[in-house]
Structure 1
Amino acid sequence: MAKNLRAKLPVDDVLFVQDINKATASKFLQENPEGVRIAENVREVAEKSETIITVLPEPQHVAGVYHQMLEPPTLLKDGFSNKERLFIDCSTIDPMTSKSVADAAHSLGQGNFIDAPMSGGVVGAQAGTLTFMIGAPPDAVDRATAVLSMMGRRVLHLGDQGSGLHGKLANNYLLALNNIATAEAMNMGIQWGLDPKALASMINISTGKCWPSEVNNPVPGVIEGSPANRGYEGGFGVSLANKDLKLAIKAAKDAGIKLALGDHAKSFYDEVEQAENCKGRDFSVVYRHLGGKE
């Protein structure tokens, strides 16, 4: 993402990067020596940048990083620019934590904070074809879109702050359930003696068609290039799928929304995540955990 951003920024702009993995940051600088600086800490990024993009694993990391960036609330005086900062958080976290960070940024007068979780995975990040779902006030949409379009193909404004995360979690909840259902249906058909490719082809022109059946089919040999064809390596890790599912379930329960399948799916993903022959693999490995024929 940083590589694509640097390639499309104006030549005289400077990209400040900061990563807890110093080796990764140093390697990025070596590969992109022009217009890149390594910041000592996240506060330096906030002081020297007008637009700040964060991508972090868990809610506590987002809260911690933004606390370091926003305190003391003197960015507009101590930084290189007195222009209002735009904070874009591309992490997939719970909407409650995101709102608390947004409230802090706005109440301290340090700038606008928007949520912009993304879809497309490692392949999309490398190719610059990510989809960003943003939750932002209308007056911040154009500025955010201009930046995010350098790293992705689509920027979808879903509403005010928090809307991007709600949209992403709803989508990934459905994805997690469809993934299990596809694995079960494929296993069912194969056990009945159906040819895997013929079964998948039929599903993908019928009402069962979905992304896990058409693009990421869990049965080896059905879709060329899918993780199933390389021992379920790469792709969307089962732990990440499970994390997003848990976040979606929690956010739904916090809002009093009834779910029929979520808890059952979460229990199943917990099993898959801990299984030795599934741990660390693409989430389509649920097919293996079901005892599917490989």
Structure 2
Amino acid sequence: MSRIAFLGLGHMGLPMAKNLVKAGHEVHGFDVVPAAVEAAQKAGIPVAASGADAVADADVVITMFPAGTHVIEAYQGGLLAAAAPGTLFIESSTIAVDEARTAHELALAAGHRNIDAPVSGGVVGAENGTLAFMVGGSDEDFAAALPLLEAMGKRIVHCGGTGLGQAAKVCNNMILAVSQIAVAEAFVLGERLGLEHQALFDVVSQASGQCWSITTNCPVPGPVPTSPANRDYQPGFAGALMAKDLGLALQAIEQTATDAKMGRLAQQLYAAFAAGSGATRDFSGIITDIREDRV
């Protein structure tokens, strides 16, 4: 059993923390949002008065924050100083590769260990313990973190050295965004050609166009009852978060001088979606903007 400090108890973090408790670990949480604190307490997870208090006696610190600036600020603002020497920091936010490497260097300089371990699978994956973890870090630190990651996820991949977990995540989400747009455009085209949603789904879900964006995150109500389209596009994975992740992808595209035309276009479309109706809707809801020619 490990004593774990889990910082960031939002829609993803809280179910991840609960799965660690189910696996027999002692978890103490912290969040700056009162509603998240209340939800954690109702779930039976003790919440510390501050991040520094949460990490003081922890063997492992897991952070799940909105952006890289929050991670760096938290590390520099007292987390690293408050933790016992040799604490393993698992950074599960989705942040830029260079931010992950900065966090790693800060942790090492303070006498700690660190891996980047962003996730894929959304809220449903977090609740069911079926997340995919993409991990960057040393073999030794990956091995130390693996039992904890297995309590929260179904597929854990060691992608290489520091920052490469984030590199895999940004590539994955670029693919996801492009495929979700393509699926949405296909359903709108099908509508205008007179195809029923179910008929198109029955064909594509078993044909060469098959992908997660249709079989799990189908953007129209009906064919996949558990998809966000059946609950008025409640996330899920919000459009604002997809826009943020694609901003990280665009940053990586430009830093590496990669000719990624579809990635750039997806970033533009999701930025427009998030700036309009889609900030708090599931990212599959971009189909409504495509249908109404708003993106």
- Tell me, yes or no, whether TM beats 0.5: yes
SS of match in other structure, 2:194: coil
Partner residue, 2:65: 56
Partner residue, 1:68: 77
Pair 1:44-2:53 in alignment = yes
Equivalent position amino acid for 1:97 in 2: E
Taking the aligned partners of 2:23 and 2:290, their CA distance within structure 1 comes to 45
SS of match in other structure, 2:242: helix
Match of 1:93 among 88, 91, 95: 95
Instruction: Report which of the two structures shows the higher radius of gyration computed on alpha carbons.
Output: 1
SS of match in other structure, 2:151: coil
Partner residue, 1:233: 234
Q: Compute the displacement of 1:44 (Å).
A: 2.4
Render the CA deviation track for 1:219-239: whole Å, top value 9, x for unaligned.
Answer: 222222211122212221111
* Stretch deviating more after TM superposition (161-170 or 261-270): 261-270
Partner residue, 2:250: 249
Partner residue, 1:9: 24
Q: 1:234 to 1:37 in 2, by over 3 A?
A: closer
Equivalent position amino acid for 2:18 in 1: K
Q: Compute the displacement of 1:4 (Å).
A: 1.3
Q: Compute the displacement of 1:30 (Å).
A: 4.5
8 Å contact from structure 2 (residues 114, 141) kept in 1: no
Partner residue, 1:102: 104
Please list every run of 5 or more consecutive structure 1 residues that lacks an aligned counterpart in the other structure. none
Taking the aligned partners of 2:58 and 2:34, their CA distance within structure 1 comes to 20
SS of match in other structure, 1:165: helix
Taking the aligned partners of 1:99 and 1:4, their CA distance within structure 2 comes to 28
8 Å contact from structure 2 (residues 40, 46) kept in 1: no
Q: Compute the displacement of 1:8 (Å).
A: 1.4
1:143-158 correspondence to structure 2 within 5 Å:
143-158=144-159
8 Å contact from structure 2 (residues 115, 142) kept in 1: no
SS of match in other structure, 1:149: helix
SS of match in other structure, 2:214: helix
Taking the aligned partners of 2:108 and 2:261, their CA distance within structure 1 comes to 37
Q: 1:263 to 1:162 in 2, by over 3 A?
A: same
Partner residue, 1:201: 202
Partner residue, 1:289: 289
Taking the aligned partners of 1:30 and 1:194, their CA distance within structure 2 comes to 47
Q: 1:274 to 1:102 in 2, by over 3 A?
A: same
8 Å contact from structure 1 (residues 135, 157) kept in 2: yes
Equivalent position amino acid for 2:141 in 1: A
Equivalent position amino acid for 1:245 in 2: L
Taking the aligned partners of 1:153 and 1:142, their CA distance within structure 2 comes to 16
Q: Compute the displacement of 1:70 (Å).
A: 5.1
Partner residue, 2:30: 18
Partner residue, 1:172: 173
8 Å contact from structure 1 (residues 42, 68) kept in 2: no
Equivalent position amino acid for 1:182 in 2: V
Taking the aligned partners of 1:28 and 1:270, their CA distance within structure 2 comes to 32
Q: Percent identity?
A: 34
Please list every run of 5 or more consecutive structure 2 residues that lacks an aligned counterpart in the other structure. 1-15
Q: 1:242 to 1:23 in 2, by over 3 A?
A: closer
* Stretch deviating more after TM superposition (16-25 or 119-128): 16-25
Render the CA deviation track for 1:95-150: whole Å, top value 9, x for unaligned.
Answer: 11111110111123x21110000111111111222111110101112111111112
Q: 1:23 to 1:291 in 2, by over 3 A?
A: closer
* Stretch deviating more after TM superposition (21-30 or 97-106): 21-30
Output the aligned Cα RMSD. Answer: 2.0
Count of residues in Structure 1 that have an aligned counterpart in Structure 2: 278
Taking the aligned partners of 2:274 and 2:54, their CA distance within structure 1 comes to 36
8 Å contact from structure 2 (residues 51, 79) kept in 1: no
